[in-house]
């Protein structure tokens, strides 16, 4: 299910889109999976149904989902660039790094700042353009 | 279709203009919010739109050109005024009975189910419910009329954040409709809610 961060400054519909994209990248969602019904999202988050419809339309335009009349919206494509076992390995090493940062006394905000800055530096050094996206 | 359309609308009390030269159109299928400081004329505009007051100047129509306040307009509009207007001495069941008999259309099944989901006891007097429950009861009575346009005036002023969330969830779920592809519109601060005709 979706979670909203009212203080993020990111428009609500975009938060929904990004969360589906993240779930796809991390393999939590795969082709054939059904997205929650608009009505259920609305009931859970207390947001305008038009906002949910806008997010679902955007996902469809991006070719990530497809609506089946009378059934709902289903995942159609995948965004995963890395295979699952490899992803698990990367996740483990990141967890290890986080533990080191934590021991060193770096707080969450500091970790995000450091990560964002290093990521930018990496891309700046011919790490290829890559899409830029707000840190969620 | 516009659910509310005003042109040069104005209302004067004695020598004071509460609202002046107001021109706006709200298309169906939208939630619209009126925002403005105290005394900006939000409540005046809403009261004119639902037909409680008569304009001093200009015109206002609802639901695609129907004059505000006409029987056809009243039939399609539900209005929850400021401070959740309920008869505090009546039980919830009596409020239900009253509203059902004062309106041509009333979805008793929806109202009962909704109150049950909210855990609002039918035997309790309306005035003994919590603020959040009173707001939900007023909203449920309004929605059970199956309006094409819902107008809410300061619906959440006295509610805590949790009750606000629940209240908005009820409004938005009603707007999402029971069926497929059915989306209405609304105002908050004054909230309008409309549903397109079931084609």
- Cβ within 8 Å, pair A50-B30: yes
Beta strands in B14-115, from DSSP E residues, in sequence order: 16-27, 31-33, 57-62, 66-67, 77-80
Look over chain B and give the mean of its residue pLDDT values, rounded to a whole number.
84
Nearest chain B residue to A45 by CA distance is: B169
State ipTM: 0.70
**Mean pLDDT, rounded, for B100-120:** 93
- Cβ within 8 Å, pair B175-A42: yes
The label of the residue with tokens 């107008």 reads: B151
pLDDT in tens, B36-87: 888 888 889 999 999 999 999 999 999 888 899 899 898 888 998 888 889 9
Q: Closest Cα to residue B33, out of B170, B186, B159?
A: B186
Q: Evaluate the CA torsion angle A59, A61, A65, A69 in order and state its sign.
A: positive
Contact residues on chain B for A44, CB-CB shorter than 8 A: 169
How far away is chain B from the Cα of A63, in angstroms, using its nearest Cα? 21
In this model, does residue B185 exceed pLDDT 70? no
pLDDT in tens, B132-156: 899 999 999 999 998 888 898 888 8
- Cβ within 8 Å, pair A42-B173: yes
Residue to substitute from B26, B28, B172, interface A, most A β-carbons within 10 A: B172
pLDDT in tens, A55-110: 999 999 999 999 888 888 999 988 877 777 888 888 899 999 999 999 999 998 99
What pLDDT was estimated at residue B172? 86
pTM of the model: 0.74
Kind of pairing between the strands at B2-13 and B66-67: unpaired
Mean pLDDT is lowest, of A33-37, B28-32, B76-80, for B28-32
């Amino acid at each position: 299910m979706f979670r909203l961060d009212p203080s993020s400054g990111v428009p609500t519909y975009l938060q929904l889109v990004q969360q589906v994209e993240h779930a796809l990248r991390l393999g939590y969602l795969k082709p054939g999976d059904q997205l929650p019904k608009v009505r259920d999202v609305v009931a859970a988050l207390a947001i305008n149904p038009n906002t949910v419809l806008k997010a679902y339309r955007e996902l469809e335009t991006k070719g990530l989902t497809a609506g089946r009349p009378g059934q709902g919206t289903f995942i159609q494509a995948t965004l995963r660039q890395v295979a699952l076992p490899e992803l698990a390995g990367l996740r483990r090493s990141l967890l290890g790094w986080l533990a080191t940062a934590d021991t060193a006394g770096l707080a969450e905000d500091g970790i995000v700042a450091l990560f964002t800055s290093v990521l930018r530096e990496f891309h700046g050094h011919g790490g290829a353009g890559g899409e830029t996206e707000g840190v969620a | 279709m516009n659910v509310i359309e005003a042109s040069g609308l104005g209302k004067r009390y004695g020598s004071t203009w509460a609202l002046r030269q107001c021109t706006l159109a709200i298309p169906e299928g939208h939630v619209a919010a009126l925002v403005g400081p105290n005394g900006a004329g939000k409540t005046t505009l809403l009261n004119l739109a639902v037909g409680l007051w008569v304009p001093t100047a200009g015109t206002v129509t609802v639901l695609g050109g129907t004059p505000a306040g006409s029987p056809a307009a009243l039939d399609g509009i539900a209005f929850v005024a400021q401070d959740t207007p309920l008869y505090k001495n009546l039980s919830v069941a009596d409020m239900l009975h009253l509203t059902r008999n004062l309106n041509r259309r009333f979805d008793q099944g929806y109202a009962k189910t909704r109150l049950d989901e909210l855990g609002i006891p039918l035997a309790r007097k309306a005035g003994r419910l919590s603020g959040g429950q009173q707001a939900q009861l007023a909203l449920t009575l309004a929605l059970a009329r199956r309006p094409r346009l819902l107008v809410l005036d300061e619906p959440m002023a006295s509610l805590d954040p949790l009750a606000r969330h629940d209240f908005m969830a009820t409004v938005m779920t009603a707007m999402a409709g029971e069926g497929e592809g059915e989306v209405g519109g609304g105002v908050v601060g004054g909230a309008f809610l409309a549903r397109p005709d079931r084609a």
